[in-house]
């Protein structure tokens, strides 16, 4: 009689060393910095691996390709941003449009100050149409612009702000607000201040909101409402 042999239990497959969630996040953080600084084309997987302090094969293990890594890095960077501004749009729905705009702008300024690399990675990809451009616009940029367009249009209809078409106003506001933080080395060199410093970032938010709602005519802005230049 033939003796039946029980099948050998399969050993659980081990993940490569360094393939933990922490290692994956390290790759994403390194990718964000390099994609922001060098653009998609300029950043190399080897540089990203070096920045994460892991071997390049582990980058392929986690993400498969440079395109997959770029998309994962953007989602990693902007998912919280999307949730935050979605929350703002829901919680400010009962406010007057100008009050909602103030809340929205301060939130955007805070986001830009804390995450300038995230702003740069968006700006890098919005300069030329393509697959990444289409995905980024559909997933993140269009909803954000749409909400801001709506608030600005409502404020203009109620006579609270000058009526300027959103196509001209919304991009101008976004670039003016975010570039102060995204161009940190230039601001530091020219003016000897650090946009990442919390006090500087807060004053910039105050200045920009005053500028947007009161214009360059200083007579319109009571001195008591002007932020302390520090």
- pLDDT surpasses 70 at 125: yes
What digits encode the pLDDT tens for the residues 80-117? 777 877 887 788 888 999 999 999 898 888 888 888 88
pLDDT at position 13 is 36
Share of the chain above pLDDT 90, in %: 46
The three-class DSSP label of residue 8 is coil
What 55-61 contacts at long range (C-beta under 8 Å, 24+ apart), as own/partner pairs, is: 55/18, 57/16, 58/16, 58/18, 58/19, 58/23, 58/27, 59/27, 61/16, 61/19
pLDDT at position 218 is 57
pLDDT-derived band at 124, boundaries 50, 70, 90: confident
- pLDDT surpasses 70 at 170: yes
CA gap 56, 92 in Å, rounded: 45
Burial class (CB in 10 A: 0-12, 13-18, 19+), 2: exposed
Q: Is 227 left (phi over 0), alpha (psi -120 to 50) or beta?
A: beta
Q: What is the pTM of this model?
A: 0.74
In 10 A of CB 108, how many CB atoms? 23
Share of the chain above pLDDT 70, in %: 85
Averaged pLDDT, 176-196: 91
Q: How far is CA 105 from CA 5, 11, 54, 97, 175, in A?
A: 70, 55, 38, 12, 12
Tokens of 193: 């201040």
pLDDT at position 91 is 85
Averaged pLDDT, 168-172: 92
- pLDDT surpasses 60 at 15: no
Judge whether 59 and 49 are in contact, CB under 8 Å.
Answer: yes
Averaged pLDDT, 130-137: 92
DSSP secondary structure, 160-173, as one string: SS----HHHHHHHH
Judge whether 98 and 213 are in contact, CB under 8 Å.
Answer: yes
Mean pLDDT value across the chain = 83
Q: Kindly list the structural domains of the chain, giving each domain's residue range(s) and its CATH number in brackets, ordered by start.
A: 20-64 (1.10.10.60), 75-225 (1.10.357.10)
pLDDT at position 22 is 86
Q: How many CA atoms lie within 13 A of 126 on its CB side?
A: 15
Q: How many CA atoms lie within 13 A of 23 on its CB side?
A: 19
């Amino acid at each position: 009689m033939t003796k039946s042999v029980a099948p050998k239990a399969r050993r659980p497959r081990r993940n490569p060393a360094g393939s933990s969630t922490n290692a994956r996040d390290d790759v994403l953080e390194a990718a964000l910095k390099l994609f922001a600084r060098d653009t998609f084309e300029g950043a190399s997987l080897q540089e990203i691996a070096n920045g994460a302090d892991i071997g390049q094969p582990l980058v392929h293990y986690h993400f498969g390709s440079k395109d997959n890594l770029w998309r994962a890095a953007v989602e990693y960077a902007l998912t919280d941003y999307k949730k935050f501004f979605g929350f703002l749009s829901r919680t400010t729905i009962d406010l007057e449009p100008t009050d909602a705009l103030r809340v929205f702008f301060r939130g955007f300024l805070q986001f830009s100050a804390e995450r300038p690399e995230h702003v740069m990675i968006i700006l890098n990809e919005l300069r030329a149409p393509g697959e990444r451009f289409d995905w980024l616009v559909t997933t993140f940029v269009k909803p954000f612009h749409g909400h801001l367009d709506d608030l600005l249009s409502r404020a203009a209809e109620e006579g609270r702000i000058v009526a300027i078409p959103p196509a001209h106003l919304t991009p101008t506001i976004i670039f003016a607000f975010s570039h102060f933080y995204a161009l940190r080395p230039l601001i530091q060199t020219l003016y000897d201040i650090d946009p990442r410093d919390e006090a500087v970032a807060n004053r910039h938010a105050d200045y920009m909101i005053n500028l947007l709602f009161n214009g360059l005519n200083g007579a319109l802005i009571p001195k008591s409402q002007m932020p302390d230049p520090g």
